[in-house]
Amino acid sequence: MKGGFLLSQYLSSIFPLSQGLRGDKLCFLDKVRTSVTYLSISDPQWYPARQSIRLDPKGKSLKDEDVLQHLPVGTTATFYFRDLGAQISWVTVFLTEYTGPLVLYLMFYFRVSFIYAPKYDFTTSKHWVVHLACMCHSFHFMKRLLETLFVHRFSHGTMPLRNIFKNCTYYWGFAAWMAYYVNHPLYTPPIYGEQQIRLALIIFLFCQIGNFSIHIALRNLRPPGSKTRKIPYPTKNPFTWIFLLVSCPNYTYELGAWFGFTLMTQCLPVAFFTLVGFIQMTVWAKGKHRSYLKEFRDYPPLRSPILPFIL
């Protein structure tokens, strides 16, 4: 192909993009300009976020900013196409995921009709820990909503639309399950009383502040509109000093917050939610840790994925 043509023009002329939907070979390009970017391959009938162009059928998708000069190809290249399906923005996903638990928990807290026995409709609990738990739970998800709108910067703009149903089932389902028991008329407070509740509140608030501090630190690593990746290091904020030992302290603080909430409510569904969340966050943290090690040769060797010296 001569250097004056975009890859997309060449593709559409020799091989319709829709024929590559199954991940089959899309086309073979010869004598291509090395400065051509991945986005040049995109076909206008599919929006870019829905397309996955790869050099190998089972390999990773090319990034928007990738150029042939930086890829393991010479003047010839074979590309494979895969339709990722309908996409939805991460902001929309997070707002949907976090609004549900906030609203559902409040419905159980206010004991709206049809949830418990009619005689308890719109009544309030006699245990002050129930009111405290509602404030903590609401604070947590309001914080998440505000962080989604004003703090987070996403390296990937979209995710498959089908995933939102799975994610909402997880967050909304657990929120309803926890709220049902914590706000139940027969709920009993923690066995060690006020001492246990106060300790749990301290842990919860400490970890919430820490989680927010890590999110701010990560945000400051990436300028607006950039996909730059850097090694996160501790800042002057003491809550970020955990970066000395952990690759993903946002998950560490998140786990600590839910441990505090579990201690505060002493409720089995809350403990189960904390356990499941810990397992999932460990998977994410290990993946991020491996990515750091692969990308940065000078990555600090003492760091663990989520728990210092343990995991």
Instruction: List pLDDT tens digits, range 132-148.
Output: 999 999 999 999 999 99
Q: Same domain for 305 and 198?
A: yes
| Residue 262 pLDDT class (50, 70, 90 cuts) | very high
Q: Report residue 154: phi and psi, to 5°.
A: -95, 130
Which phi-psi region, left, alpha or beta, contains residue 123 (left: φ > 0; alpha: ψ -120 to 50)? Answer: beta
**Distance between CA atoms of residues 207 and 216, nearest Å:** 14
Residue 293 within any structural domain of the chain: yes
Residues 36, 6: contact at Cβ < 8 Å? Answer: yes
**Does 11 fall in a domain?**
no
Which residue range(s) make up the domain with 122?
87-185
What is the Cα–Cα distance from 24 to 79, expressed in whole angstroms? Answer: 9
Where is the domain boundary, 185, 213, 243?
185
Instruction: Write down which residue in 153, 185, 217 finishes a domain.
Output: 185
200: DSSP letter: H
User: Of 119, 154, 185, which marks where a domain is finished?
Assistant: 185
| Residues 213 and 277 both lie in one domain | yes
Note the pLDDT tens digit of each residue in 72-88.
555 555 666 655 657 78
Specify the higher pLDDT residue, 100 or 8: 100
Residue 162: which H helix or E strand, with range?
helix 162-182
> Cα-flanking dihedrals φ and ψ of residue 52, to 5°?
-125, 115
Which DSSP state fits 122? T
- In the prediction, which pLDDT does 283 show? 97
The values of phi and psi at residue 239, to 5°, are: -70, -15
